[in-house]
Structure 1
Amino acid sequence: MKHLLLFRHAKSSWVNMDLLDFDRPLNERGMQAAQNMANYLSQHLPLPDVILCSTAHRTRQTLSALLQVYAHPVDIALRRCLYHASEAVLIDEIAKVGTPDVLMLIGHNPGLEVCAHLLCGTGDEKLRADLASKFPTAACVHLTFDISDWAEVKQTKGTLADFIKPRALDVD
């Protein structure tokens, strides 16, 4: 059984309009959401063996929040090609990973959302309807696949195991 976690970067800042989109950081709300999600994901979802992350500033900051709470060894690959990648590029990058059991991809919409829809074949109807309505910043999709190698992801559809949105977390 393989687990794929598609994690959209947290909310970015538009304060400095002189910055290129690639260089935009997370805003305060995004930093908090990234931390809250990192805490939740580390306690409730399988821990990733490999993380593929876009090299954009906001995705690297989202990754940083995860690394503050993950205490296990994880291989991290920063990939420029994931910046605003299409779903086809995302699926190709996933297919190249090999055999790790748990893979996380940190990226951007609309590619990440379209990728989630393409790879989601079955799962809880309420979760699927929720995913179909919106994939907000800092949300994470958990898909499972009955495959032995990520190269097979191209020929199969996953099962939606969970869809976590930061606003749904109970944070005191």
Structure 2
Amino acid sequence: MKRLILTRHAKSSWDDPTVADHDRPLNERGQRASADLGQWLASRGYVPAEVLCSDALRTWETWTTISRALPEGPRLELKPALYHAGPDVMLAVLRHAKEDVVMMLGHNPGIAEFAHRLVAKTPVSPQFTRYPTGATLVVDFDEPSWSEVGFGRGMTVDFIVPRELDG
């Protein structure tokens, strides 16, 4: 069995219009949301052994903040191909994963379409269609290898958006 934790980066800053899209950092809300997501993942035992992350600053910062709540050890790979990637590219990257539990961090609109296409049955959440910043899907695949994972074969385990974690 394989497990994917699929996370859209948290809320980023638009304060400086001269900053290139690739280099936009998280804003304060994004930092808080990432910390909340880390706590949520840890509380449920959703701990990746491998992290495939877009090389954009906001995705890396999302992972860095999430990781503070998790045990040390996941292997991080910054993947330029995941920057604004579509579903087919995301699947191709995932098929090269090495560990049984993988976290992938990316961007909309590709990550939303990827999430929809992966699962056999979508989560019961009005937010799933939008896949807002910080949205996180946990999906299992009954496959022996990531190379055999395909669209429509994932079993939804969990889905959360940071707003649902606000205390």
Which residues of 2 match residues 2-151 of structure 1 at below 5 A? 2-98=2-98, 100-122=99-121, 126-127=124-125, 130-132=127-129, 134-151=130-147
How large is the RMSD of aligned CA atoms in angstroms?
Answer: 1.5
Structure 2 equivalent of residue 158 of structure 1: 154
The 1:130–1:160 alpha-carbon spacing in structure 2 relative to 1, beyond 3 Å, is farther
* Structure 1 residue 75, shift from structure 2 partner: 1.0
Same amino acid, percent of matched pairs: 38
* Structure 1 residue 72, shift from structure 2 partner: 3.5
- The letter for the 1-side match of 2:55 is T
Consecutive aligned runs of 4 or more in structure 1 exceeding 4 Å deviation:
none
- Unpaired runs of 5+ residues, structure 2, are none
* Structure 1 residue 120, shift from structure 2 partner: 0.7
**Cα deviation per residue 1:107-138 (whole Å; 9 max; x = unaligned)?**
101111110011011365x24x5423x21101
User: Match of 1:163, SS?
Assistant: strand
- Unpaired runs of 5+ residues, structure 1, are none
With normalisation by structure 1, the TM-score equals 0.91
The 1:8–1:104 alpha-carbon spacing in structure 2 relative to 1, beyond 3 Å, is same
Q: Mean Cα displacement is larger for which, 64-73 or 1-10?
A: 64-73
Q: Which has the higher helix share?
A: 1
With normalisation by structure 2, the TM-score equals 0.94
Query: 1:155 & 1:63 partners in 2: Cα distance?
Result: 25
Q: Mean Cα displacement is larger for which, 58-67 or 36-45?
A: 36-45
User: Match of 2:103, SS?
Assistant: strand
8 Å Cα contact 1:26-1:58 kept in structure 2 = yes
